[in-house]
Structure 1
């Protein structure tokens, strides 16, 4: 009898496996239209690799299957949402976490504090956000000084000199983020260069080497990545201990140290902020200056606002909310460049979008890069037009996507402040000019980055 029972169970398992294999349509995520897994182990991973990036894959997926579509990441079903209407419908009670940070922590393998329940998650999020907000207020003069040094350098260049935006603005973001996150010990070039070495090694693999599986297939690359990650973690732990011993309360890590977070949690939050803060700030500033260089009209309109609000004064923290057109320029930069093209959430309870049921524990992708250039939501979606954000409907859609309002990613809020200081200081003194014949291509990973160096020239305002 026992032998028969074992045989029966084994037979049922084999039968189920055969059904799944022979009838792949039954393997779609809860009947949501989409791709069947191309490979038993990797799902649609090779399809993503063939498209060049997850964003390009999602563009194709939604073109073929509509605004709610499914695919397989390994053996796991994934649902992707590709329109404002579907994102508005999405039911997910997990509003306590930021989707970008959740994805980044998952790629880094950080799990501490993730299983502490909703109350613990909310508490940790509040500590993290207040740390960033306090840092911006307390250290605004440092940010302004770093920006003024860069603008002063550009002002000294002859009018015809080509300026490499990517290189200069990554340097600006790293100087700003490290000093405001970790303290004055990163005021020198030596410390920033050391930080950048490990930062670049880690970020180059995040969202790419893990996504296409190439990192696991290259022992040398994986070893380089793990060494850089270990060195960065060790440095962050060391800085936290030093700051705690000094009892200072001025920068990001100091606020974390005043909380009840563990040493490990403090290190993880510092890692997320410095990694994401640098790359988001650098690329927001790069794209903003690139788009400004393409439109003298937008530059002149921004200059007039600066004259009206600031006059001949420098920008100050309390004046930033009054620079509404500058905010529109940055909003349109994020939209046109598709700055963060992908975000993700785990469906914690069963949800529903249109007629489709999304089961509990399904990974839900927000195809933000698709939504940000959806012609049903944005008129002339490929045109850089800050004036579109004068319309309330555009502002509401942007807020729904998490790019403004209370749900804004904290690192993006930080980047907006740095970018506002940069645009205010620069446009008051200089005009940007685009190089003729330069074609901008995007490398779409977790953050949209110019594929090649981006160049501009500047001239002094008369």
Structure 2
């Protein structure tokens, strides 16, 4: 092709140049969004937005840097996909609680396939979410948790036996990441899927392999996800073909296994001896038990307590059981990893908590009721989850142009609370990097500014299983301290170096020294 009669370029090169120029103007228009709305933002790079900063600092540190340099409301581009990092407690309250009806959906930046729209976590339709929430919430009431603590107990006993089998003398250095991930996988598979997986047993080897494959999901392994961040409007194409970004082979296999379990459960009827999340999703119960919803987080609490009008379908049961795998595996194991780390490096608190266990529980098995008496453990766990929150970010989708307080938010963006950052802001948390469980003492807890602490989310869409997760976490710590002294291993990184992933993960694992108690 002749250019102004001066030079001749081959057609393929002209085509590439046209694509590059078109993409440049496409991204330039995208990157002007926050300027048009008067929102301070990290200056994006042409074509790739904030990816260079993400690559350099990682997701959590990138959010922290953006907040510390630009304030409590700052725009950022994941590639060319806009989001706002929000750490203003008053605006958080407005969006996540008071005006929840205007912001009911989690971020829908990426296409969610039809299968996942049946889930409490990812559903895009408010009515569907509301039905699922009111149906599933009774599974996590105090009365139901008392019946499910035996699931945690049996898996904990197996974990302790496996640890004892590894000892060659009185000390053992072991990576607690693999220990806790094995435990949480076993617990959540038994509770949500009705399968006693036992990560040390080969009986369900194929199912365990498929579950592990599903849980190893990451952006880095899926080029379609990267493409979605670079060209957000491809969401329409992905929606047309209903593309699922997850391991569909694993989902199909797990779904088929669960269909058999559900069929068997229904044939047996509502057996009183079967107490797990799966059975409670299958049953339709008129339950007047207490709710998992915290009134201080949900101002319109009563709307969440309306009784469901129908049973969940088998597809909804399967989809939500699989979602519980995602939600209960990484988050709970993360909380366990860092709580055990802090126990190791704070021997004074470890001894204080052990003495409390001796006084309140003794050598009895930990359960839902007796762990409620451990005030020091509660403070310790709360502070651990402040510094290393199991959920590092919470978001809502802004579906239309909205003004909240002094901020104007453009439509079709994700409004994100960077929890890792929020928990480290000095104005809310003096000496934020200092580990101090007394922040959560009965005297000091009331001084914590509302909506500055949210390790399991905020408002009506907070984590429905948070009480189950905390029960599992506390029972695990009690069982460990009943059997072992936890110490730092030689060469332990203090503080731990974190992966650049969206989750809190220590690089190189978390190797601690366990010493048998006599």
TM-score by length of 1: 0.81
Tell me the distance in 1 between the aligned counterparts of 2:480 and 2:214.
Answer: 31
Whether 2:354 is the aligned partner of 1:329: answer: no
Deviation of the 1:202 alpha carbon: 2.8
Contact 2:51 2:78 in 1 (8 A): no
Q: Of 211, 232, 255, which residue of structure 2 is paired with 1:233?
A: 255
User: What does residue 12 of structure 1 align with?
Assistant: none
Q: 1:212 to 1:342 in 2, by over 3 A?
A: farther
Q: Of 28, 35, 56, which residue of structure 2 is paired with 1:28?
A: 35
Whether 2:283 is the aligned partner of 1:258: answer: yes
Task: Tell me the secondary structure at the aligned position of residue 190 of structure 1.
Answer: coil
Tell me the distance in 1 between the aligned counterparts of 2:438 and 2:152.
Answer: 28
Residues 154-175 of structure 1 deviation map (CA, whole Å, 9 limit, x = unaligned): 3462233212211111111111
Contact 1:69 1:81 in 2 (8 A): yes
CA RMSD, Structure 1 to Structure 2 (Å): 3.7
Contact 1:201 1:224 in 2 (8 A): no
Tell me the distance in 2 between the aligned counterparts of 1:143 and 1:95.
Answer: 38
User: What does residue 364 of structure 2 align with?
Assistant: 313
Deviation of the 1:136 alpha carbon: 3.0
Q: 1:79 to 1:335 in 2, by over 3 A?
A: same
Deviation of the 1:106 alpha carbon: 4.4
Q: 1:107 to 1:447 in 2, by over 3 A?
A: farther
Task: Tell me which stretches of 4 or more aligned residues in structure 1 moved more than 6 Å.
Answer: 17-20, 95-98, 102-105, 113-116
Residues 304-326 of structure 1 deviation map (CA, whole Å, 9 limit, x = unaligned): 22123223432222222222221
Tell me the distance in 2 between the aligned counterparts of 1:19 and 1:456.
Answer: 50
User: What does residue 504 of structure 2 align with?
Assistant: 448
Tell me the distance in 2 between the aligned counterparts of 1:400 and 1:365.
Answer: 14
Tell me the distance in 1 between the aligned counterparts of 2:450 and 2:456.
Answer: 9
Q: 1:137 to 1:447 in 2, by over 3 A?
A: farther
Give structure 1 stretches of 5+ with no counterpart: 1-16
Deviation of the 1:455 alpha carbon: 1.2
User: What does residue 177 of structure 2 align with?
Assistant: 166
User: What does residue 72 of structure 2 align with?
Assistant: 67
Deviation of the 1:179 alpha carbon: 1.3
Give structure 2 stretches of 5+ with no counterpart: 1-23, 230-243, 285-310
Instruction: Please give the residue correspondences for 1:235-314 in structure 2 after superposition, counting only pairs within 5 Å.
Output: 235-247=257-269, 248=271, 249-259=274-284, 260-314=311-365
Task: Tell me the secondary structure at the aligned position of residue 443 of structure 1.
Answer: coil
Tell me the distance in 2 between the aligned counterparts of 1:334 and 1:98.
Answer: 25
Deviation of the 1:406 alpha carbon: 7.4
Task: Tell me the secondary structure at the aligned position of residue 250 of structure 1.
Answer: coil
User: What does residue 142 of structure 1 align with?
Assistant: 151
Q: 1:24 to 1:184 in 2, by over 3 A?
A: closer
Whether 2:427 is the aligned partner of 1:376: answer: yes
Contact 2:50 2:76 in 1 (8 A): no
Deviation of the 1:201 alpha carbon: 2.6
Tell me the distance in 2 between the aligned counterparts of 1:245 and 1:103.
Answer: 41
Instruction: Please give the residue correspondences for 1:54-203 in structure 2 after superposition, counting only pairs within 5 Å.
Output: 54-73=59-78, 76-90=81-95, 92-94=99-101, 106=112, 110-112=116-118, 118-133=126-141, 136-155=145-164, 157=167, 158-186=169-197, 189-190=201-202, 193-203=205-215
Deviation of the 1:346 alpha carbon: 1.3
Tell me the distance in 2 between the aligned counterparts of 1:429 and 1:378.
Answer: 34
Residues 325-356 of structure 1 deviation map (CA, whole Å, 9 limit, x = unaligned): 21111111111123221111113565445521
Instruction: Between 402-411 and 142-151, report the one with greater CA deviation.
Output: 402-411
Residues 392-437 of structure 1 deviation map (CA, whole Å, 9 limit, x = unaligned): 2465547752648976513433221111111112212321110132
Instruction: Between 404-413 and 312-321, report the one with greater CA deviation.
Output: 404-413
User: What does residue 401 of structure 1 align with?
Assistant: 454
Deviation of the 1:460 alpha carbon: 3.3
